[in-house]
Each structure stands twice: as C-alpha cells, then as structure tokens.
Amino acid sequence: MKKQILAPSILNADFLHLSSEIDIAEKGGAEFLHLDVIDGVFAPSISFGANIIYSVRSYTNLFLDVHLMIENPSQYIADFVRAGSDSITIHAEGATHLHRLIHQIKEYGIKAGVALNPASPISLIEPILSDIDMVLLMTVNPGFGGQPFIKEVLSKITRLSQLKSSKAYSFAIEVDGGITPQEALWCSQRGANIFVVGSYIYYKETETAKLQAMENIKKSLETGGLK
C-alpha cells in the first residue's frame, strides 16, 4: 500500500441514501471506503456496528477500511471480520494487550492497523511497528466529523515516516480528520499515503460537488497543490 489512496469516510454520509453515497465514492475513483465504528464510550458519539458493515460489503467491492473506536475491541473482532472487513484498525489507547490483538486480527487473513489519538506519542506503538500493516494517525480528536485539522500531528507523521524508512518497515501511513486538499498535501509531503476524507466530501449537497471535492484532493496530491 505505497501509492496514495483516497478513503472516503461514510461517517458523514447520508444514511438514508447510503448506496448512492457509496456510488459517488466509486465514481470518484476511491479504492477504500473508511468505516468508523464508535461506541460512545471510547469516543463520544455513536455511529454504527457490524450490521452496517455487512450491508456495505454486500453492495460494494471497495476495500473496507474499518476503524474501531470502541472499548474492549477484542470481543468484537470476529463480528467485524464476518461482516466483511478487509482491514481492522484498533486504537493503541484502548487495547491492553496490543500485540495479542494485532495478531488476533491477522489470524483471520485480513490487514491489521493501529490508530493513535492526536496527543498520543509514536513511542506508544514503536514495539509493534514490524507487525502491523497500517498506522492511522488521528488528525482530530475521535468522535465527530467536521472538526478542524490539528497541525501538531504533522510532526508525528514525519517521525513515523523516519522510523519506517530507517527500519525498512512496510506499513502504510493513514491520516484521518479535517482533511481538505491543503491538509492532504501537508500530510503527503511528510509521508502519509492513505487519506480519510469525510465532511469535505459528504457535507456537499450535490453529487457533482462531492465528486469535485474528491477530484480536488486527488489533484492536490498529484500536482503538489491546486493550480
């Protein structure tokens, strides 16, 4: 997963017309669909569970990038695998036995990722970087869409990218929260290659505007900024 990948997040999508929102992601050239599972305990707000992921899986062949912001994630891994997840990312802050949980996910034959909140240091996950497929750096505090990007996370992307290069690790670097074309460019310049974009796409009112938003992100990444 070295190339730059756009991963629309359905957290801010219109759930009454979710199939149409997925169609827009596909039409706009997305390869991933990001699904935020929030339990209202680990992070504020409640989103959806494995049943929605199952429905999404039955509708699309996009890579389902499932992000668990929940307490006791080990109890639910099997449910999310059965629902059709292609990757499952869990938070380092919410896993007592992180190494065990990563290997629990990988035993199902899917990809495993670890997420870090904005205030959590990279050192928290250094011991397991060789075991994971992806690191998700939150660029907002988890729980709600539409929050502003936290610029202080940029230095963490740089640090993580340096570790990846020096140790020849193969994990992808994903960013999530407040991503617009400018923020995507900043993150890409520091080594990120998967970009979760939610409100910038789905807060638009028309399909044309949503597709244009996706194109704006891609152009920024391709050209080094919108021209």
Question: Which residue has 């009112």 as its token pair?
Answer: 205
- The single residue of 23, 36, 65, 131 carrying the catalytic annotation is 36
- DSSP E strands: which ranges in the chain? 5-8, 32-38, 63-69, 87-91, 111-116, 134-138, 172-176, 194-197
With beta carbons less than 8 A apart as the criterion, state whether 153 and 118 touch.
yes
Whether 65 is a known active-site residue: answer no
- The single residue of 39, 65, 133, 176 carrying the catalytic annotation is 176
Q: Write the CB contacts of 184 (distance below 8 Å, at least 6 apart in sequence).
A: 175, 195, 197, 217, 220, 221
Tokens of 43: 């992070």
Whether 36 is a known active-site residue: answer yes
Distance, CA of 157 to CA of 175 (rounded, Å): 9
Which residues are catalytically annotated? Answer: 36, 176
